[in-house]
Amino acid sequence: MNYLRHLFLTYVLCTTAILAQAQSEINTSLLIIGGGASGTTAGIQASRMGVQTIIVEETDWLGGMLTAAGVSAIDGNHQMPAGLWGEFRQKLYHYYGGAKAVETGWVSNTLFEPSVGNKLLKELAKEANLAIWYQSQWLNVQKTTNGWTVSVKKANKTYKINAQLLIDATELGDVMAAVGAPYRIGMDSRSVTGESYAPEQANDIIQDLTYVAILKDFGAGADKTIKKPAGYDPTIFEHSCDVADPAAKDNTPIIDCSKMITYGKLPNGKYMINWPKNGNDIYLNIIEKSPKERSEALKEAKLHTLRFIYYLQTVMGFKHLGLADDEFPTADRLPMIPYNRESRRLKGQVDLTLPFVAQPYQQKEAYYRTGIAVGDYTIDHHHLKNPAAPAIDFVKIKVPAYNVPLGSLVPENTKGLIVAEKSIGVSNIVAGATRLQPVVLGIGQAAGALAAVAIKNNVDPAAVNIREVQQALLSSKAYIMPFIDVKPEDSNFDAIQRIGATGILQGTGISYKWANQMWFYPQHPISEATFIQGLKTYYPAIAEVAASGKDLDVDFFATVIPMLNKQIGKETIVTDLASLKKQDQKPNSPTINRGELAVLLDKYLKPFAVEVNFNGRLMQSKITK
């Protein structure tokens, strides 16, 4: 009897152990580590494309720098509200009551409360194929025959998550470092990147980081002055209100700080304190430190921000502005994470350097053909708090709006991994633009699309059809080319984006203030010679066609297209063009404009179907019909 009882207990214990082991091992197609800006959009995009996805996030929030770090003033892409960035912005408009309701601070067209941003991103992330593990920490990662196994600690229990593909969406590129993907930290040598603005010798200097604070107006009679922080020195901040000139002429404090305070004014009487000039920026390079070492180092960043707040409350008289009590779920009312402006940078299939941003069409490699995210903000670096940083005048670096090549998300020698957030393959200088919120949101969406295409085709991310990834993004109303004058709601948007990504018709780049531009000019005429010049890069058969400088018209167009597609005759062209001109409200125009040409080329020749490699080179010389 005792023997049978012992046997039964042994069976129960073994069964329980087996069940416990089974419950602690999870299988998914895609695992995203980090629920920040790019991790969130990657998860949404991949899940919408039918891929089972898990996001592992250390905090209770989604959005990373937009929310958990408190940087809730969007920099750039106001004229390119595409894809998930556009969806998120529209939700902000709906929540607050329109575009004007979020134009509360002069630094941005879109400002919001971090807690609201978190709430709205969580609404966007309610997808059937997406699971989000909050308050979860990844412990280690191992490569397996079928993909990856990642150990994750959640609620004092350790799980093993098996995934086919892995996206590193951490704030500092920790996963790619753990798996041995090559990366760089700090400033590059100009001899390596070909950037004349880069220093002669590489170094490990990164941008200043900021521990942001959100202040709340508690009313004119309130006194929310905090306890005097340790190490407080008012002279550090006395020129913080010199908005026009960082180098003050004397030591006299400037009392009128309304310009500085309203820089990051948020809805509902709140203020984002993220101020570089004698404000709360601080130089800390925590990238290669352990989590414990980072936490210890960041105590000084928090203290520095509290000193600045104390200065604002006492010297500047803003004692009615106190740390918001309804934003972050933290004991000190500060954000959960710092604003890291710089991370590890992947050594990718391609590395986006300044020449490819400044003059994309003049380079040997056509990276722009592989674009998957766009940005228009200027090259913006913060180095005021590190006297050892080389004196580079980043304001003088002029660039147009640009796109990010897909190859910068794909490691050159690590299979099964995609890198997102601020850790992609770009130079240190270019990282000053690609780090900004809308670009990172777009990078995440592209990472999700790349993962979905790779998983569905059972190939490594390095072996995908780039055009398939780009088309998935276009189908999600995201830009792949930074043309600000053709919006996603335009019926010709997809065609113009596709033709732009071939380079047959090129954009015109303009460096313009803090919102750079790339124009397609769809209503402008195009010459016969320019038309042929662009077309022959794909179709050598027309290289000997004689073309003049006159504006392109139906007669000339109808002599060229049948050479490349015999099924298209002049009658078809005339009919299709008449329909386009009716749409353009120019029924009597004798010429074919750039927008009409893009639509016709996309329809008749489909040059976008020609595959390209990560350098933007054509994988075949022509399309046969």
pLDDT of residue 130: 98
Q: Does the residue 332 lie in any domain?
A: no
Can you tell me the mean pLDDT for 255-264? 83
pLDDT of residue 585: 78
Which among 427, 369, 372, 420 has a CA at the least distance from the CA of 399? 427
Query: CA 278 to CA 237: how far, in whole Å?
Result: 5
Q: Does the residue 15 lie in any domain?
A: no
pLDDT band at 256 (very low <50, low <70, confident <90, very high): low
CA 459 to the chain's CA centroid: 24
Domain containing residue 42 = 25-66+121-200+344-475
pLDDT of residue 19: 40
pLDDT of residue 1: 47
pLDDT of residue 494: 98
Q: Domain holding 395: CATH number?
A: 3.50.50.60
Torsion of CA 53, 58, 64, 69, to 10 degrees: 170
pLDDT in tens, 139-183: 999 999 999 999 999 999 999 999 999 999 999 999 999 999 999
Q: CB-based contacts of 459: which residues, under 8 Å, 6+ apart?
A: none
Residues 510 and 575 in one domain: yes
Which among 301, 296, 335 has a CA at the least distance from the CA of 58? 335
- Take residue 264 and report the two structure tokens written for it: 């990051």
Query: CA 72 to CA 62: how far, in whole Å?
Result: 13
For the cut 70, the answer to whether the pLDDT of residue 18 exceeds it is no
For the cut 90, the answer to whether the pLDDT of residue 583 exceeds it is no
Residues 56 and 193 in one domain: yes
Instruction: Give 314: exposed, middle or buried? Use CB within 10 Å, 0-12, 13-18, 19+.
Output: middle
Chain position carrying tokens 């050892």: 388
Q: Does the residue 447 lie in any domain?
A: yes
Bridge partners (DSSP) listed for residue 32 = 55, 167
Q: Does the residue 533 lie in any domain?
A: yes
Residues 584 and 555 in one domain: yes
> Residue 406: left (phi > 0), alpha (psi -120 to 50), or beta?
alpha
For the cut 60, the answer to whether the pLDDT of residue 11 exceeds it is no
Neighbours of 192 (CB within 10 A): 13
Residues 147 and 242 in one domain: no
Side chain identity at residue 464, one-letter code: V
Q: Which of 55-59, 152-156, 389-393, 478-482 has the lowest mean pLDDT?
A: 389-393
Is residue 263 within 8 A of residue 362, CB to CB? The reply is no
pLDDT of residue 336: 98
Q: Does the residue 623 lie in any domain?
A: no
DSSP string, 314-376: HTS--TTEEE-SSS--STTSS-SS-B-----EE-BSS-B-HHHHH-GGGSSS-GGGGEEEEE-
Residues 32 and 172 in one domain: yes
Residues 216 and 195 in one domain: no
Side chain identity at residue 604, one-letter code: Y
Task: Please report the sign of the dihedral spanned by the C-alpha atoms of residue 15, residue 16, residue 17, residue 22.
Answer: positive
Is residue 171 within 8 A of residue 34, CB to CB? The reply is yes
Side chain identity at residue 396, one-letter code: K
Q: Helices marked H in 1-113 — which ranges?
A: 2-23, 37-48, 83-96
Residues 187 and 144 in one domain: yes
> For residue 444, what are the CA distances in angstroms to 57, 168, 201, 221, 406?
15, 10, 32, 45, 11
Q: Does the residue 18 lie in any domain?
A: no
**CA geometry: angle 71, 72, 73, nearest 5 deg:** 100
pLDDT in tens, 485-530: 999 999 999 999 999 999 999 999 999 988 999 999 999 999 999 9
Q: CB-based contacts of 545: which residues, under 8 Å, 6+ apart?
A: 532, 536, 560, 563
**What's the whole-number average pLDDT of the chain?**
93
Residues 229 and 152 in one domain: no
Query: CA 186 to CA 72: how far, in whole Å?
Result: 26
For the cut 90, the answer to whether the pLDDT of residue 195 exceeds it is yes
Residues 469 and 507 in one domain: no
Q: Which of 7-16, 99-108, 455-464 has the lowest mean pLDDT?
A: 7-16
- Take residue 613 and report the two structure tokens written for it: 């490699």
Residues 497 and 551 in one domain: yes
Can you tell me the mean pLDDT for 404-418? 97
Neighbours of 291 (CB within 10 A): 11
pLDDT in tens, 287-326: 999 999 999 999 999 999 999 999 999 999 999 999 999 9
Q: Does the residue 483 lie in any domain?
A: no
Q: For the chain, how many residues are written?
A: 625
Beta pairing, strands 157-168 & 417-419: parallel
Instruction: Give 11: exposed, middle or buried? Use CB within 10 Å, 0-12, 13-18, 19+.
Output: exposed
pLDDT of residue 22: 46
- Take residue 517 and report the two structure tokens written for it: 């531009």
pLDDT of residue 443: 98
pLDDT of residue 247: 42
Residues 265 and 408 in one domain: no
Element housing 28 (H / E) = strand 25-33
> For residue 43, what are the CA distances in angstroms to 34, 88, 338, 558?
10, 14, 23, 46
pLDDT of residue 123: 98
Q: Which of 48-62, 225-239, 252-266, 591-605 has the lowest mean pLDDT?
A: 252-266
Q: What is the share, in percent, of the chain residues with pLDDT greater than 70?
A: 93
Residues 230 and 191 in one domain: no
pLDDT in tens, 352-395: 999 999 999 999 999 999 999 999 999 999 999 999 999 888 88
Beta pairing, strands 53-56 & 130-133: parallel
For the cut 80, the answer to whether the pLDDT of residue 21 exceeds it is no
pLDDT of residue 572: 96
Q: Does the residue 176 lie in any domain?
A: yes
pLDDT of residue 57: 98
Is residue 599 within 8 A of residue 492, CB to CB? The reply is yes
pLDDT in tens, 88-139: 999 999 999 999 999 999 999 999 999 999 999 999 999 999 999 999 999 9
* Number of compact structural domains in the chain: 3
